């Protein structure tokens, strides 16, 4: 069967897959998701049909960044957080998982002003 994938994958395009292929098979052939891919609502087990077109949307800017699972790059994208503070957040959570947002103020370099700037952009 032939299936097209568009949007936030490394290599969008048309792919030939075996008849019982799933969305996971297609994404792997397309090189995987980009970092901007919104994958929360996708089921990788979804069976595909011949001539399907799959669109992987881009994450919206309002999506919150998880203190307990974000990458250094994601944390660095927060206003006022550079690579050094992002690494401190990761080091902190490796020792003590975040259980409340205000706990981030225990990370060196994050005070009340910076917390106020990022509190609506972060989640646990």
Task: Write down the pLDDT at residue 53.
Answer: 95
> Within this chain, do residues 42 and 75 fall inside the same structural domain, yes or no?
no
CA-based end-to-end distance of the chain:
42
- Is pLDDT above 70 for 97? yes
Which residues, including other chains, have CB under 8 Å from residue 120's CB and lie 6 or more apart? none
Q: What does pTM read for this prediction?
A: 0.51
Q: Which domain holds residue 13?
A: 2-56
> Within this chain, do residues 52 and 83 fall inside the same structural domain, yes or no?
no
Report d(CA 102, CA 106) in Å as an integer.
Answer: 8
Strands 122-123 and 2-7: unpaired
CATH number of the domain within which 109 lies: 1.10.150.320
- Is pLDDT above 90 for 59? no
Task: Write down the pLDDT at residue 54.
Answer: 96
CA angle 74, 79, 85 (to 5 degrees): 65
CA angle 111, 119, 70 (to 5 degrees): 100
Per-residue pLDDT, averaged over 63-81, amounts to 89
């Amino acid at each position: 069967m032939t299936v097209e994938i568009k949007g936030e994958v490394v290599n969008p395009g048309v792919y030939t897959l075996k008849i019982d292929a799933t969305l996971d098979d297609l994404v792997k052939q397309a090189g995987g998701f980009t970092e901007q891919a919104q994958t929360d609502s996708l089921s990788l087990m979804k069976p595909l049909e011949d001539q399907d077109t799959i669109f992987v949307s881009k994450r919206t800017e309002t999506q919150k960044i998880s203190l307990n699972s974000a990458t250094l790059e994601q944390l660095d994208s927060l206003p006022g957080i550079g690579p050094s503070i992002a690494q401190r957040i990761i080091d902190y959570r490796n020792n003590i998982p975040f259980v409340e947002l205000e706990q981030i103020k225990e990370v060196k370099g994050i005070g009340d002003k910076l917390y106020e700037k990022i509190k609506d952009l972060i989640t646990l």
